[in-house]
Amino acid sequence: MTGTHVIIAALVLGLTMPAPAAVRFEARAPRPAPDAASILKTMLAAPALIDYEGTKVISTVRGTRAETVTILEAYKRLGRLRLEFLSPESVSGRLIVDDGVDTWQYEPSMHLVIRGPSFVQGAGSPEPAEDILRRYTVSLLGREAVIGRDTVVLALAPGAGGSNRHLWVDQATGVVLRTEERDAGGEIVYVSYFSRISYSLNLPTALFTFRRPAGAKVLSFHVSGGRVTTADELRRQAGTPIVAPPRLLNRYVFRDGRVARHGAFAAAAATYSDGVGVVTIFQTPASRMAFPNVGRETVVGSMRGPLGRFLDLGYFRVVLWQSRATNFAVLGNVPQTVLMAIAAELTGMK
């Protein structure tokens, strides 16, 4: 913590006790400098060890305009998260509940519930820090105080096809207190930071159970079924041609997949992670499922690529498009540029 009580105690002792004739100061060994691997290990272990509740501010830059939202964030160890949006008025009432299996997002303006896979990463079995160090160039930028807590600042550079991230990692807990994402030109495109945080809370489990508002429509990006651990096995079980490479953008590695069947209808989902971000790809036959008319129109890949839809839902983002009789939906807690690059790569494989 901050050591304020130690300072106050020393002042009180100095005022109430006679000063010694001589004071001998002993040199204290400097605190060893942290290294990237040890900070990453602390950060990756935090979801299994730390509970917290706080207020977070998120700003997204779109061209010359910045959009800022304020949320209440609560996290319970081993992968449960609740986000309540407070401001501005346009998003007030938005609720996201991630129970470690599914993410449920309620959009009050549309009276719509969006169901997707959990994006709480690494709660049970964090990815080894060494693997992340192989995919990113990681630099230590120094120490800074964030809301009165000592943090170590990490810079993660993925190379081509992604944005750079700066993370302010609480040195005591491993919780990321501030995040910045920068584009290839170094301009900040996304910032999130806690304006207050409290640790070690006994948060009730019921807080992380989603209750669907009466009459709300549900847009589901969800499949249930047996978990497979290789891309080859997912392609085999799907029964129809799907795109499931072992890697995306040469750094997102296949984590697991599932196939759900409803009679002749099959849906496949493949989840990828680079240790920092998580992306899930859904594929369904276009003849079996209508392409949803939601989000804003975008082009996937080159100018001659298929038309799609993009939804920025704050906590995660979605790209939807059709290609060669297949509906694709790519969801991720990654920047828009990364999500669109993944969509373009998948379209080129089809």
pLDDT digit string (tens) for 76-85?
A: 988 899 999 9
Q: CATH 3.30.200.100 residue ranges in the chain?
A: 223-349
Which pLDDT score is estimated for 258? 86
Separation of alpha carbons 26 and 7, rounded Å: 18
Q: For residue 100, give the DSSP letter.
A: S
Strands 112-117 and 217-220, sheet pairing? parallel
> Whole-model pTM?
0.73
Residue 170: what pLDDT?
97
Tell me the two tokens of residue 39: 């900070």
Topology annotation, domain 36-208 = outer membrane lipoprotein receptor (LolB), chain A (2.50.20)
CA pair distance 314, 335, nearest whole angstrom: 10
Residue 326 has a pLDDT of: 86
Give the rounded distance of the alpha carbon of 153 from its chain centre: 18
Q: What's the pLDDT tens digit per position in 72-126?
A: 999 998 889 999 999 999 889 999 999 888 889 898 988 888 887 777 755 556 6
Residue numbers of the chain with a pLDDT score lower than 50: 1-29
Q: Which residues contact 85 (CB under 8 A, 6 or more apart)?
A: 69, 70, 71, 91, 92, 93, 94, 95, 314
Closest to 192 (Cα-Cα) out of 231, 163, 219, 166: 166
Tell me which residue of 190, 169, 172, 170 sits closest to 181, measured CA to CA.
190
Round to whole Å and give the CA distance between 210 and 96: 8
**Quick one: pLDDT at residue 211?**
93
**Cβ contact 279:342 at 8 Å:** yes
Give CA–CA dist 321/311, Å, rounded: 12
Secondary structure letter of residue 14 according to DSSP: H
Instruction: Residue 178: name the closest of 164, 167, 162 by CA.
Output: 167
Q: How many CA atoms lie within 13 A of 283 on its CB side?
A: 25
Cα 216 from Cα 105, distance rounded (Å): 11
Q: For 150-165, write each residue's pLDDT tens digit.
A: 999 999 887 655 568 8
Q: Where in the chain is the domain with CATH 2.50.20.10?
A: 36-208
Alpha carbons 197 and 181: distance in angstroms, whole number: 21
Output the CA–CA distances (angstroms, integers) from residue 310 to 10, 263, 285, 313, in the order listed. Answer: 58, 30, 20, 10
Phi, psi of 189 (to 5 degrees): -115, -15
The superfamily CATH assigns to domain 223-349 is MucB/RseB, C-terminal domain (3.30.200.100)
pLDDT of residue 27: 46
